Amino acid sequence: MRRPLTVVGAAIVALAASALMFVPPAHAAVGLHIDGTTIVEANGEPFVMRGVNHPHVWFTGETDSFADVKALGANTVRVVLGTGKRWGPSNDVAAVIGLCKQNKLICVLEVHDTTGYGEEGAAASLDEAVDYWISQKSALVGEENYVVINIGNEPIGNVNAGQWTAATAAAIQRMRANGFQHLLMVDGPNWGQDWQSVMRNDAQTILDADVRRNTVLSIHMYAVYNTAASIVGYLDHFEANGWPLVIGEFGWRFNAGEVDHETLLAEADARDLGYLGWSWSGNTDPILDMATSFDPARLTTWGERIFNGPHGIRATAREATIFGGTTPTTPPTTPPTTPPTPTPPAGACTATYTVLNQWPGGFQGEVRVTAGNTALRQWTVTWTFADGQTVSNAWNATVTSSGSAVTARNVSYNGTLAAGAGTTFGFLGSWTGANRAPVASCSGS
């Protein structure tokens, strides 16, 4: 929009243009970057995130978790950090990146203090999150091949969700003005779920705010996405508009009103869309733990599903080529948590009942079904409660009750078991007085 004033002025402009022609454009790719709707590495190879969230800021000593999720097949870990306003401060960013690289994981780093800003009084603003990233810049610069910066977790609550657009655009611009060349990730408003469609409507505005054209949008799918139609409709809209998207957090259908995780996983796989499940361990609500007490040998039903089930991490993850591009071929070796049992007769199966978590009036149970020395096509587990417990809902099995007697039958995707193979199902229950674990029996054919 500049007007030529004189011939001399034009010559000066021409010289300046000549001098600048060797400078890379502002959007030149460095490390992980966006190509159309796809995240690609510096060499142009597509990279699809398959991983989990790890609550590092609250469990800084659980550093083995990086190796554990890698051994289970993950290629990415989203690491929870804090600015110090609510949690942290996380001043160990260099060490966290080192753990990611050591274990050949792409590192998504996020500031959690921003969660629910505008509705949650203690939350930090996105501007404060950028202040934190600037304070950690020395640990981040040069790591663009390995690190994605998720500027702020779920940065706007349900109050005035429309403020998200301006705040997010400004945060991106500040990051770029301060020299960050990384792939940036931005979460939607409404505690990440974007149920008012602010991110859905303003996505192009956010992408255009990045002079490097290197931002990916992130949706968090929980109870709002409890039907196939809600999931498919949201993903279709972004795909049709050519907007890059990942599912930065999601839960699973442990209750009838919760997220339809089966549709989510299948759609993400079909679309080569990245996903990061919540979360490895340490939840105050234990239902969303994938591993009990950070122990990879004690995967919960949710953990078994996301790592080992159809469209899950082990089946679909591909390691970043910056690390060599290999994938695990065998499950990790872990010590047994219970004494070995005798080999069951042909066609039989065993069932191990465990109370994973318990709180006043309620508990979470899990049953592991293991085939004997021949394969199974279907199985049934039965037990009888001795203390008046009841099952309120279940997952990965069809569970019915008649008084104190409970019967659980396989569902369509987990009835077939190879000899010696196992699967788990889980349930929520209520109790009063006592909650002794019953002996479960298994039959199969």
Q: Measure the CA–CA gap between 411 and 425, rounded to whole angstroms.
A: 10
Note the residue count of the chain. 445
State the alpha helices, DSSP H only, in 57-92. Answer: 64-71
Instruction: Point out the residues that are catalytic.
Output: 154, 249
Q: Which residues contact 142 (CB under 8 A, 6 or more apart)?
A: none
Q: Going by DSSP bridges, is the β-strand pair 379-384/405-409 parallel, antiparallel, or unpaired? A: antiparallel
State the alpha helices, DSSP H only, in 21-163. Answer: 64-71, 93-102, 126-135, 137-140
**Phi and psi dihedrals of 267, rounded to 5?**
-65, -40
Shortest CA distance to 275 belongs to which of 143, 134, 78?
Answer: 78
Sheet strands side by side (includes 441-444): 398-402, 405-409, 379-384, 441-444
Q: What is the 3-state secondary structure (H, E, C) of 226-241?
A: CCHHHHHHHHHHHHHH
